[in-house]
Amino acid sequence: MKTLWQTMLKWLANENNYDPNANYPDKIDWLRAMPFILVNLGCLLVFWVGFSWVAFITAAVLYFVRLFSIGAFYHRYFSHKTYKTNRFWQCIFAMIGSSSAQRGPLWWAAHHRQHHMVSDEPADAHSPVQHGFFWSHVGWFLSKKHYYYNPERVKDLARYPELVFLDRYDNLMPTVLFISLFVAGFLMHKFAPGLGTSAGQMIVWGFCISTIALFHTTVTINSVSHVIGKKRFATKDNSRNNFLLALLTFGEGWHNNHHYYPATARQGFVWWEIDITYYVIKLMELLGIVWDVKGVPRSVLEKRA
């Protein structure tokens, strides 16, 4: 009973009890993974709540906005610092990214930085080469071993209390989104019945379907992009460029490029490598939201495998 209560509390507050000497087993912590499982099962309720264009468009907008936030904010900003911004926008980036239900900015950045240090080696938490497709795609994310992160990897981010707060209470922003969708659906059903939209539709489409589609799209970079695709550059890992995944993930699929030179905000190195995330980052630079956006040095482009 004590273990159950402790696990339920961790759904609310993700305290990082990292222990480098702990020998946690490589297996899914099913009890702690229950919220993720319930969101997956929630997608099946679509046959009960039905369809409306308002709910569908809401799901699509939330999918695309949060997909961009994972690539542009969690990955290219918090993990690699490929551009600069001020503290206000940094907090906004973290809040939007956190609403994706892929944990907090410190957790995400710490694991990603670790991934680059040991890519496709045994210590790489989500290498399909070492651990197989299922584990690299979803298993590692739900294991007790990887709920924690090495704080040494993110000392630069831990200086900001607001980021530490969002990281510890990483379910806060998904919960705010969930409640907002419920209230919006309730109000539309009550005051604009002609829209044919209900609170249930907004939850199932706007939260469950959008969040799960987002999750499985982004984690293909862990699983598929280290197995299928082409290598432009000779790297020590098995990272690949995958055109289809690049389109689906707004540019993250140019993964071999990224592993060869991760210090740039641009992952599509040549003009025909579509990188929507980079284009929007450049637009944000024009608007003064970000600056010092790092490009690709000519010396890098000249070194082909």
List all residues 6 or more positions away from 121 whose beta carbon is below 8 Å from its beta carbon: 127, 130
What is the chain's Cα-based Rg?
20
- Residue 132, Ramachandran bin (φ over 0: left; ψ between -120 and 50: alpha; else beta): left
- Does 164 map to a domain? yes
- Does 23 map to a domain? no
- Does 24 map to a domain? no
- Does 6 map to a domain? no
> What is the pLDDT of the chain when averaged over all its residues?
93
Which helix (H) or strand (E) is 5 found in, with range? helix 2-12
Report the chain's terminal Cα–Cα distance, integer Å.
57
Report the alpha-carbon distance of residue 284 to residue 229 in Å, rounded: 30
Count: domains in the chain: 1
Query: Is the pLDDT confidence value at 281 over 70?
Result: yes
Q: What percent of the chain has pLDDT over 70?
A: 95
- Does 59 map to a domain? no
- Does 20 map to a domain? no
pLDDT in tens, 181-236: 999 999 999 999 999 999 999 999 999 999 999 999 999 999 999 999 999 999 99
Per-residue model confidence (pLDDT) at position 305: 45
- Does 12 map to a domain? no
- Does 290 map to a domain? yes
Query: Is the pLDDT confidence value at 2 over 80?
Result: no
Q: Which domain holds residue 243?
A: 67-301
- Residue 270, Ramachandran bin (φ over 0: left; ψ between -120 and 50: alpha; else beta): beta
pLDDT in tens, 3-22: 555 566 666 777 788 888 88
pLDDT in tens, 138-159: 999 999 889 999 999 999 999 9
